[in-house]
Amino acid sequence: MQKKIGKEYTGACIAKRFNDKLGTDAVNHTDKKPVAPVHHSKTKEKNTMKKHLVMLSFLLIAAMVCLPGSVFAAKIKVAGIYTQPIQQKWDACLHKALLALSEKGEIEYVFSEKVSNTDYIRVLREYAESGVALVVGEAFGISRDVRKVADDYPQVAFLMGDSFGPYGKNMAVFDNYIHEPCYLMGMIAGTMTKSNKIGMVGGYPIGEVNRLFNAFMAGATSVNPEVQFKVSFIGSWYDPPKAKEFAYAQVEAGVDVLYAERAGVVDAAREKGLVAFGNVNDMNKEENGTNVVVASALWHMDSAIGHAVELVKAGQFKAEDYKEWTMMGKGGATLSPYYEFEDKLSAEIKDKVAKTAAAIADGSFVVEINDNEPKSTF
């Protein structure tokens, strides 16, 4: 499915405003008393030059009034290519960031969703051929083929989700680095469990998931050394019923707090009367998590994509890793509000979380990035 989003801008009102001004100037001459004409005088030449400068100034003012600012910033065409529906939260994060730029008039945005890996390269080449300046997408599992496309279209900038590093001169990469707010959530979870058993349900044991689980576990043990973990992966990015089943099994094993890396876990927590912690999007507000989801580790791609767009417009885009743009320091990751749990959490843990968040922001505390597969401890 392909969809085009964006507004068309014109500056047709320039001519009218300029003609109106020109007509006014032609009528409104000076009202000083006439003097004897002096043909070809320096005074006349200066007056003529001043009039031309005034006319030119009004033309420029009219252009600035009539045209949107995006014209002066050279609005570019950007394509988004997603393997999942744009409602799926990982792709939704990218889509929302691009949509916001489109609505501001900074880019012309087109996208395709539900593109399988087997069809991805064809769609990628089609967009590159169509004249887009920037492609935002994902290269997981097809990184080698995506790199070939980047080689074939050196005039196109590629910002791709990828587990590998940047490539060539025109392929930058990003990944999900929200491990810092995950550590903060773990601190809270470690104080909320009564059984000292926390369950975690994820999609696949790959780097971008592993680092979140490992950070969550580190945060929990930092405030509660006795806590244990049950770790499960459902083998899918979107299968709520399956995620729910795995959560049920963990509850049967004794866990009383859940980390919902995948959709479906929050429903299980609600049915079992437990609390949960969310991932990527605000699961308290967006996934029926009221009175269940204490907090979520939020991922924001606005800063990263905005940075890429600025570089493309300036002709300075290059192959680099956008990791830091998806972390707390540059606004790429945050901890959600506590909502109805604000008064249920102790002042002590909220103070510890706030101080730790500040330390992360100023660089005095670093949350380890551990991409190794986490294991259950009981």
pLDDT at 59 (0 to 100)? 52
Does 290 lie in the same domain as 210? yes
Does 126 lie in the same domain as 199? no
Q: Of 116, 148, 174, which closes a domain?
A: 174
At residue 201's C-alpha, the angle toward residues 219 and 370, to 5°, is: 45
- List the alpha helices (DSSP H) in 224-300: 240-252, 265-272, 283-286
Does 236 lie in the same domain as 168? no
Q: Which domain holds residue 101?
A: 71-174
Residue 378 lies in a domain: no
pTM recorded for the entire structure: 0.79
Does 287 lie in the same domain as 260? yes
pLDDT at 48 (0 to 100)? 55
The CATH number that applies at residue 223 is 3.40.50.2300
pLDDT at 88 (0 to 100)? 87
What does each C-alpha distance from 276 to 218, 257, 283, 322 come to in angstroms?
A: 17, 6, 9, 30
pLDDT at 47 (0 to 100)? 56
Does 352 lie in the same domain as 234? yes
Residue 212 lies in a domain: yes
Residue 57 in tokens: 């100034």
User: How many residues are recorded in the chain?
Assistant: 378
Q: Which of 139, 181, 182, 145 is nearest to 164 (CA)?
A: 139
Question: What element of type H or E holds 371?
Answer: none
Residue 81 lies in a domain: yes
At residue 227's C-alpha, the angle toward residues 222 and 229, to 5°, is: 110
pLDDT at 238 (0 to 100)? 86
Residue 60 lies in a domain: yes
At residue 52's C-alpha, the angle toward residues 51 and 53, to 5°, is: 90
pLDDT tens for the chain, 378 residues: list them. Answer: 444 333 333 333 333 333 333 333 333 333 333 334 444 444 455 555 555 555 555 555 444 444 444 334 579 999 999 999 998 899 999 999 999 999 999 999 999 999 999 999 999 999 999 999 999 999 999 999 999 999 999 999 999 999 899 999 999 999 999 999 999 999 999 999 999 999 999 999 999 999 999 999 999 999 999 999 999 999 998 899 999 999 999 999 999 999 999 999 999 999 999 999 999 999 999 999 999 999 999 999 999 999 999 999 999 999 999 999 999 999 999 999 999 999 999 999 999 999 999 999 999 999 999 999 999 999
**Domain count within the chain:** 3
Does 293 lie in the same domain as 194? yes
**Burial (CB count <10 Å: 0-12, 13-18, 19+), residue 319:** middle
Greatest Cα pair distance, the chain, in angstroms, is 106
Rounded to an integer, what distance in angstroms lies between the CA atom of residue 118 and that of residue 258?
A: 35
pLDDT at 115 (0 to 100)? 97
Residue 251 lies in a domain: yes
Does 214 lie in the same domain as 90? no
Does 232 lie in the same domain as 194? yes
Does 186 lie in the same domain as 129? no
